[in-house]
Amino acid sequence: MKAFIANLNFRRLVITLTISWLSIFVLLPHLMVVGTSFLTADADNFAIWPITLDNYLKVLDDTYAGVFWDSLVLSGITTVIALGIGYPFAFLLSRMTPALRAILLFMMVIPFWTNSLIRIYAIKMLLGKKGLFNLVLVSTGIVDKPVQLLYTDFAVIFGLVYILLPFMVLPLMASFDKLDQSLLEAGKDLGANAFHRFRHIILPLTMPGVIAGCLIVFLPAMGMFYVADLLGGARSLLLGNVIKNQFLVARDWPFGSAFSVFLIVLMGLLLWLYYKANQYVQKQGGMDDQNL
Amino acid sequence: MTLTSLFRNVSAAAALLAAVAANAADKVVIYNWSEYIPDGVLEEFTEATGIEVEYNTYESNEVMYSKIKIQNAKGYDIVVPSSYYISKMAREGLLAKIDQSKLSNLKHLDTSLLNKPYDKGNQYSIPYTWGSTGIGINTDEIEKSSITSWNDLWDSKWLGSLLLTDDVREVFQMALAIQGHSANTRDPKEIEQAYQLLKTLMPNVLTFNSDAPREPYMAGDVNLGMIWNGEVIMAQEEMPEIDYIYPSEGVILWVDSFAIPANAEHKDAAHQFINFMLRPEIAARTVDYIGYATPNKDALELLDEETRNNPIIFPSQAIISKGEFQEDVGDEATALYNKYWEELKTSM
């Protein structure tokens, strides 16, 4: 009984701690952002009354349609490439002996111990006119003159994929782990070839991992302003750059806040779609089981 | 209660916590531009005065201003705003008056850089360095004599290859100079014309950089564009082919000055620091190290002849009188500049 009460107290403590942490450092700041987004910009005071919707109208202004579209395209390409690399990688990992798998996973995670800003600076050196990439391209005769890689969309996508790839691999791996090998054997016994086994068994069952991976790559990609600043040449390429400029350069906090809220709503919408898709996929999975 | 005052209260609480955490010993918290002080000077200051130094850096006036504003002019004891930010910050009550009686080394300064319109009588600021923004060029790749003016940057052969500083006022000043307008114009029509001209420059721009503009030149990614004179001096130590051109329309001139935020906690230590930096031998080392000119006339004698006569560091009187110093343009025009700046950067 005593142990039970101690346990209960500990649970209360942990829950209180978590809730206060989230309230102070997540909920409160976000409420401040939402509140600010309805105020009026002012050069001397950051934000003043009256309440207005102008900031949201400004988000929909033509000026930002271009950035919005560019962000979507850059993040979309990043997601597709990360999926293209991450899916086979996660598949191979799931087929390996636990020891080998641990080593490979470890190697993927090690770079994460280094600050991502430092890694982006390293990429900058690799992609420069005198960098390793161009050195190889020129010395192998593929090009005569160093090509411009740095400060292009290519560099930004390269950096985003590099930074975000593990976020694609980890949920995919979890999906592959759950994949029941006996289903594949059964499919093989019943005459399904490799493609059919992939198409009808592996792909549907790993779909939750694919969607989760795509979401946690796609959404942060739109906000990673420092990647676009350093590798893209500080042009406003991503929505994150626009937001950063509003806060630090233009000092239009209400508009910057409105833009942030807009991005949060967009993320919420995508997460909701994920939830719906997940429900759908699970239903499909259940039906397949019945069919077997 | 506005949100601002709420932010202020939160940051005040944070500052209080920080104050409790820090030990009571003397210290000075400096907020300076990146790569803007010689190696070893801070240690020597601590050795000479026993005052600990906490050092932070920024890349633009805007970032520094936002931070000082949100912290209610607290948290830092020394900032180094450019001239036009001195007047803005003083007007908004963000700067403390400087007690000149505590600055025994003030006598070393050249009076031509004191008592300027942005700070009459130097009530709020003491000049640290001055310099210019002109054209940077890699003479191994581009014939130096082929570039003489800002206007040359508009040539379509530079498609996707130029560097501009990530500074709204400097970039606009370039266009305004070409059109024969003052760099400090508040006229919406002139600002709009400059914007239209800059729009046609954007296809030529590869990158914006106010962090260390020399680096893309040194890495070979950029051969032409804007640069600060001191950055060229630093680059030339390794790559003498990187050179500096004073554009014929007039160069952009600026002064960066020491100032003390209004609610700084260590004002006395801040004065001691400014006074230390005004020592001629320290000022001379600053020129050697960061490559910008000093307003310290007694430091000039300590420089070697080559440095003193280097036209990149110390431009001729003719160039200075043709150039234009940056001044505050007021909040309304600033907002307009920023609006066009945003449009330029998002339209690329």
Nearest by CB to residue A248, choosing from B4, B63, B347, is B63
The residues, any chain, with a CB within 8 Å of residue A76's CB and separated by 6 or more, are A218
Measure the CA–CA gap between B62 and B64, rounded to whole angstroms: 5
Amino acid at B332: E
Q: b/e for A104-129, b at 16 or more Cβ within 10 A?
A: ebeeeeeeeeeebeeebeebbeebbb
Residue spans of alpha helices (H) in chain A = 2-22, 28-36, 54-59, 62-95, 98-109, 116-127, 132-139, 153-178, 181-189, 194-197, 203-223, 225-231, 239-248, 253-291
CB pairs under 8 A between A and B: 99
Residue window 207-246, chain B: list those with CB within 8 Å of chain A: 207-209, 216, 219-221
Which pair of tokens denotes residue A285?
């999975």
Tokens of A124: 């900058």
pTM (2 d.p.): 0.83
Strand partners, B324: B252
Chain B residue with Cα closest to A46: B4
Q: B159 and chain A: CB distance < 8 Å anywhere?
A: no
CB within 8 Å: A35 and B3: yes
Please answer yes or no on whether A130 and B335 come within 8 Å at the CB atom.
no
Assigned CATH topology for domain B3-129+255-314: D-Maltodextrin-Binding Protein; domain 2 (3.40.190)
Cα dist. B79→A54, A246, A250 in Å?
35, 22, 20
Residues in chain A within 8 Å Cβ distance of B70:
46
B27-33/B224-228 β-pairing:
unpaired
**Topology of the domain covering A55-291:** MetI-like fold (1.10.3720)
Give the DSSP H or E segment for B159.
none
**Range among A189-203, A227-241, B199-213 with highest mean pLDDT value:** B199-213
How far, in Å, are A83, B146, B227, B240 from residue B234 at the CA level? 44, 24, 12, 10
Contact B220 A129 (CB under 8 A): yes
Q: Which residues of B touch A49 (CB under 8 A)?
A: 2
- Verify whether the Cβ–Cβ distance B3 to A128 is below 8 Å: no
Q: Does B14 touch chain A (CB under 8 A)?
A: no
Residue range(s) occupied by CATH 3.40.190.10 in chain B? 3-129+255-314, 131-253+324-346
As a whole number of angstroms, the distance between CA A47 and CA B343 comes to 22
Digit-coded pLDDT (tens) for A105-122 = 888 888 888 888 899 999
Chain B closest CA to A1's CA: distance in Å?
A: 41
Pairing of strands A40-42, A46-48: antiparallel
Q: What pLDDT was estimated at residue B62?
A: 84
Q: How many CB atoms lie within 10 A of CB B141?
A: 12
Task: Give CA separation, A270 vs A48, A66, A263, B217, in Å.
Answer: 32, 21, 11, 42
B7 in contact with A, Cβ within 8 Å: yes
| B25 close to A (CB below 8 A) | no
CB contact under 8 A, A249 and B69: no
CB contact under 8 A, A233 and B208: yes
Residue B66 to residue A247: CA distance in whole angstroms: 8
Q: Hey, what CATH class is B131-253+324-346 in?
A: alpha beta
A255: chain B residues, CB-CB within 8 Å: none
**Interface confidence (ipTM) of the complex:** 0.79
Q: Are A116 and A124 in contact (CB under 8 A)?
A: no
Report the gap between the CA of B309 and the closest CA in chain A (Å).
Answer: 33
Q: Which residues of A5-17 are buried (b: 16+ CB within 10 A; e: fewer)?
A: eeeeeeeeeeeee
Within an 8 Å CB–CB cutoff, is residue B138 touching chain A? Answer: no
The tokens describing A251, both together, are 């000092």
Q: What distance in Å separates the CA atoms of residue A157 and residue A237, rounded to the nearest whole number?
A: 11
- By Cβ distance, the residue of A36, A39, A233 closest to B207 is A233
Place of tokens 């506005």: B2
Which of A49, A128, A236 lies at the smallest CB-CB distance from B346? A236
**Cα B174 from Cα B205, distance rounded (Å):** 14
CB B275 within 8 A of CB B283: no
Question: Inter-chain contact A251–B346, Cβ cutoff 8 Å?
Answer: no
Identity of the residue numbered B187:
D
Q: From CA B264, how far away is CA B77, in angstroms rounded? A: 5
Which of B4, B221, B343 shows the shortest C-beta gap to A46? B4
Q: Mind listing the pLDDT tens digit of every residue in chain B (348 residues)?
A: 344 444 444 454 444 444 444 444 589 999 999 889 999 999 999 999 999 999 999 988 888 998 998 899 999 999 999 988 999 899 999 999 999 999 999 999 998 889 888 899 999 999 999 999 999 999 999 999 999 999 999 999 999 999 999 989 999 999 999 999 999 999 999 999 999 999 999 999 999 998 889 999 999 999 999 999 999 999 999 999 999 999 999 999 999 999 999 999 999 999 999 999 999 999 999 999 999 999 999 999 999 999 999 999 999 999 998 988 888 898 899 889 988 998 898 876
CB within 8 Å: B219 and A247: no
Residues of A in contact with B219 (CB under 8 A): 125, 128-131, 150
**pLDDT tens for each residue of A42-96:** 767 777 788 888 889 888 887 788 888 888 999 999 999 999 999 999 999 988 8
Give the contacts of A205 (CB within 8 A, at least 6 positions apart): A175, A178, A179, A180, A183, A285
Residue B92 with chain A: CB contacts under 8 Å: 44
Dump pLDDT digits (tens) for A155-177: 999 999 999 999 999 999 999 98
Report yes or no: B94 and B68 within 8 Å, Cβ to Cβ.
Answer: yes
For the record, the structure tokens of B268 come out as 């006395």
Quickly tell me which residue has 């031998």 as its tokens: B281
pLDDT tens across A125-157, in order? 999 988 999 999 999 988 888 888 899 999 999
Are A228 and A241 contacting, i.e. CB atoms less than 8 angstroms apart?
A: yes
